[in-house]
Amino acid sequence: MWLLDSTNHQSLITNHISLAAFDFSVFLRPSPESALNNLSYLLVGLGWSLLLALGSWVVAFVVGSVVGVMRTLPGRILPSIGACYVELFRNVPLLVQLFVWFFVVPDITPILGDWFKQQVPPIWQEFIAGTACLGLFTAARIAEQVRSGIGSLGTGQLGAGLALGLRRRQVYLLVLLPVAYRILIPTLTSEFLNLIKNTAVASTIGYLELAQRSASMAETTARVYEAFTAATLLYAALNLLVMFLARALERFTALPGFLGGDK
C-alpha cells in the first residue's frame, strides 16, 4: 500500500524547504510508476477518479431513488426499511464501509467471493469495492433528497394523479419523480461533487486515483509541492466543469414560468 510513511517524510520536508521554487519541468519527466510522464500519470488518475465517481453515481441514483420513494409510500413496512437503510449507511464512516466492501464482503460471500479474489485483476477489485461502497453510501443521501423532493410537491399532485385513474406507480414515474428531479438538480449536483471528493477515500485500498497518484508522485520525484498543487488544481477544475454542466442541465430541463417552488 502506498501511503505516506514517516521515514521518507523527513527527507521530503528538507527537500521541500530547500527547493522553494515551483519546478514545472517535473511534470514532463517520465514517471517511474508508468510509461508516461508525471503529468499524464496524474491525468490518468483523474480519469480513474471520474470513472469511480460515475460508476458510483449510477448505483447511488438508482438505489437512492428506490429507497427515497419507499420512504414516501403508505403503510409501515416499506418506509421503515427505507429509514433503516438511510440510518445504517449514514452512521458508519465511509472509510469503514469501504474496508467492509473490500476486505470483509469478498471473504464472507461463498463462491463469488473466491472468484472475486482470485480472478478479478486488483485494479478492478478496488474499483468494484469502491463503486459498491460509494454508490450505496451516496444512495442514502440521495434517498433523503428524493424523499424531501417528493414531499415538497405535497399530497395534491399525488391526489390529482390518482383521481385521474393513474396507478400509484404511474403517478410516481410520470408526475412526482420527473418534477422532483428537476427541483433537486442543484442539491444532486452538490451530492455529485461530494462524491467526486469522496473517491479520494479509495486511495486507502490502493486504488490509483488522483490523490493516491499525487502522493506516489510526491514520493518518487520528491516534488511534493508540485504534485499536490497539480492534483488540487485538477480537483478544482473537475469541480468547475461539473458545476458548469449542471447549470446547463438545469437550463435545459427548466419549465417555463416554473421556479421549482409551490403553486
Residues that bind other proteins (CB under 8 A): 3-6, 9-10, 12-13, 16-17, 87-88, 90-97, 99-100, 103-104, 107-108, 156-157, 159-167, 170, 174-175, 178-179, 182, 193, 196-201, 203-204, 211, 214-215, 218, 224-225, 228, 231-232, 235-236, 239, 255-259, 263
Measured from the CB atom, the residue of 35 and 244 that comes closer to other proteins is 244
Measured from the CB atom, the residue of 10 and 35 that comes closer to other proteins is 10
Measured from the CB atom, the residue of 97 and 131 that comes closer to other proteins is 97
Query: To the nearest whole angstrom, how small is the minimum distance from the Cβ of residue 161 to other proteins?
Result: 8
Interacting residues of 175 by C-beta distance below 8 A, sequence separation 6+: 157, 158, 160, 161, 166
Interacting residues of 36 by C-beta distance below 8 A, sequence separation 6+: 30, 44
Query: To the nearest whole angstrom, how small is the minimum distance from the Cβ of residue 35 to other proteins?
Result: 25
User: Rounded distance, CA 262 to CA 260, Å?
Assistant: 7
Query: To the nearest whole angstrom, how small is the minimum distance from the Cβ of residue 202 to other proteins?
Result: 9
Residue 167 phi, psi dihedral angles, 5° rounding: -75, 160
Tell me the three cell numbers of residue 146. 428524493
Measured from the CB atom, the residue of 145 and 203 that comes closer to other proteins is 203
Measured from the CB atom, the residue of 32 and 93 that comes closer to other proteins is 93
